[in-house]
């Protein structure tokens, strides 16, 4: 796969936007994990997620937890090669709508919660 440089890191030119694995119409968790593993096996080294990628109220971070679960099952080399990009500043109250909150205090809290859910010491790429 062709590579691109992102923040000094080399990643595959094709990434996986993982949103469909957690929103309306999502697959069951095992099928979602199978999709993530297949992407990594195919050479995908950029996974895109967000704290707001979920379906129901109270599921904030569903997609981040799913990605963390998939990466935890991989070898250390696989984990080191995958760049996880996540986002904050959007919300989903559970009724299908989206909200926006770009206040610094909200983003700081959201980033800290994303760190915890992803199980990492640092977020590779954080986006508003």
Query: Which residues are part of the catalytic machinery?
Result: 53
Beta strands in 1-128 (DSSP E): 3-6, 9-12, 16-17, 46-48, 83-87, 90-91, 99-100, 125-127
Cα–Cα distances (Å) from 56 to 21, 25, 48, 95, 125, in that order, read: 13, 12, 20, 8, 25
């Amino acid at each position: 796969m062709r590579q691109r440089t992102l923040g000094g890191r080399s990643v595959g030119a094709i990434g996986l936007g993982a949103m469909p694995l957690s929103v309306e119409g999502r697959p069951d968790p095992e099928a979602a994990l199978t999709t993530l593993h297949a992407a990594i096996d195919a050479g995908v080294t950029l996974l895109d997620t967000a704290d707001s990628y979920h379906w129901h109220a109270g599921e904030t971070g569903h997609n981040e937890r799913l990605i963390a679960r998939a990466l935890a099952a991989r070898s250390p080399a696989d984990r080191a090669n995958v760049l996880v990009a996540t986002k904050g500043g959007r919300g989903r109250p559970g009724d299908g709508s989206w909200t926006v909150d770009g206040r610094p205090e909200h983003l700081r809290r959201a980033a800290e919660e994303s760190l915890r859910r992803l199980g990492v010491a640092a977020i590779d790429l954080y986006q508003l």
